[in-house]
């Protein structure tokens, strides 16, 4: 069992921790709202991640195999939503105040994770890699245990990203520093959106 956990963690931690749509937004939220006010965002994103895990763990993965274009449209919608979040971060009226007045809350988290195609792929990849081994260890409970393991990893990693953003916010005080932060995170969100669009187009054409 220990060997299985080490193998699972070695594969899943880099995927969950790597910069992506959700993690960039977590850092931005921690920076602009602090840790406490970012919890609702975390609940929204990780609740949707949990729903994804249940759906794929109990059969939705076959739908994506049958209709691969559905992931293309999810990724496209996710990129558009990231552009919207970037706009909210960089609005001149907010920058003039020296802080972002946008609140990344529960609803934003649900929408972001729903349209995060990479999140769907991550969950599907976990089940394709580890379902057989988990079934040998836990039989009929294997899906539930894999879902629980991923949920715990998600919450832990996402808290780290929020705290990273909050730490950066404490290091850069003042109106000018906050303006720069807003611009940097807006550009980061746009960069991720462009990468998603590029990946969606060329994956869809291949």
**One digit per residue, pLDDT tens: the chain, 206 residues?**
888 999 999 999 999 998 888 898 898 888 878 899 999 999 999 999 999 999 998 887 666 667 667 777 777 888 888 888 888 777 654 444 444 445 678 998 999 899 888 888 899 889 989 999 999 999 889 999 999 999 999 999 999 999 998 888 777 665 556 677 777 778 877 887 887 777 766 655 44
Residues 6+ away with beta carbon under 8 Å from 87: 186
113: nearest Cα among 149, 74, 146, 87: 74
Q: State the residue for tokens 């539930």.
A: 144
Q: How many residues does the chain have?
A: 206
Kindly list the domain boundaries of the chain, sorted by start residue. 22-205
CB 22 within 8 A of CB 113: yes
Q: What's this model's pTM, rounded to 2 decimal places?
A: 0.80
């Amino acid at each position: 069992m220990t060997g299985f956990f080490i193998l699972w963690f070695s594969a899943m931690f880099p995927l969950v921790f790597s910069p992506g749509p959700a993690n960039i937004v977590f850092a931005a939220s921690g920076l602009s709202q602090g840790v406490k006010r970012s919890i609702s965002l975390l609940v929204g994103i990780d609740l949707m991640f949990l729903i994804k895990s249940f759906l794929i763990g109990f059969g939705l993965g076959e739908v994506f195999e049958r209709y691969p274009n559905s992931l293309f449209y999810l990724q496209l919608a996710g990129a558009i939503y990231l552009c919207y979040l970037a706009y909210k971060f960089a609005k001149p009226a907010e920058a003039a105040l020296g802080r972002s007045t946008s609140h990344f809350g529960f609803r934003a988290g649900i929408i972001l994770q729903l349209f995060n195609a990479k999140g769907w792929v991550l969950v599907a990849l976990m089940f394709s890699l580890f379902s057989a081994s988990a079934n040998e260890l836990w039989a009929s409970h294997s899906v539930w245990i894999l879902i629980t393991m991923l949920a715990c990893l998600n919450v832990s990693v996402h808290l780290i990203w929020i705290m990273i953003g909050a730490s950066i916010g404490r290091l850069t005080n003042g109106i000018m520093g906050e303006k720069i932060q807003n611009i940097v995170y807006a550009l980061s969100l746009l960069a991720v959106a462009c990468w998603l669009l590029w990946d969606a187009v060329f994956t869809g054409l291949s």
